[in-house]
Amino acid sequence: MSEAMHPAAPHYLPFFITAPGETDVLLTGSVIFLILAVMGIGSLYFWLHSLPERISHGASQHQFQLVAVLSLLALFTHINAFWVAALLLALIPVPDFWTPLASMADSLARMATGRSRSAVAEAPSEQAPEVLVNYAPVIVEVARPPEPKETARNGPLDEPAKASSDHQLQGVSAGGTER
């Protein structure tokens, strides 16, 4: 074949037209650009979907978990309402209801047993049975028997003192005679 140009061919060819057997630079550049663009848009998509989780990171554990679940649901189901709900929940602080309730429970425990709830939890008296209350395990404390009084006072030397104190406790009946 001859290297002579056809008379109908233009004398100037643009750079993207390659000669036979040479590398197509435009195709290679386009493939690299498309791969980088898809990876960049995917990263932006995942970064945007994690926005509610990053906003609620400093909030309470329950709020953070709820926002994370809503974000994952939005990511996997492509239902945008979940993502909007997660974003709103992340932006609105949820009040702490647990601290006042725990304080009330501690006060009631102190009033009922004379001890704090934390002291009971630290030193259980016996193996206490576990009861489920609202699907959460609660340890029920077993009542302790009364502690014995000191035996040194009730020894043989104190018998006359005990008899006289029993006599004083009997008192006098309404008729004026001793019982």
> ∠ at Cα 89 (86, 90), nearest 5°?
85
From the list 87, 89, 70, the residue with the least C-alpha distance to 79 is 70
Confidence of residue 179 (pLDDT cuts 50, 70, 90): very low
Query: 76 in a domain, yes or no?
Result: yes
0.85 surpassed by pTM:
no
Query: 113 in a domain, yes or no?
Result: yes
Q: Which residues pair with 178 in a beta bridge?
A: 172
Q: Is 133 helix (H, G, I), strand (E, B) or coil?
A: strand
Q: Domain limits at 70?
A: 25-91
Side chain identity, residue 78: H
Confidence of residue 141 (pLDDT cuts 50, 70, 90): low
Q: How far apart are the two ends of the chain, measured CA to CA in Å? A: 146
State whether 61 and 83 are in the same domain: yes
Q: Write down the residue that tokens 């001890």 correspond to.
A: 115
Number of domains in the chain: 2
Crossing angle between the packed helical segments 25-49 and 61-77, to the nearest 10 degrees: 140
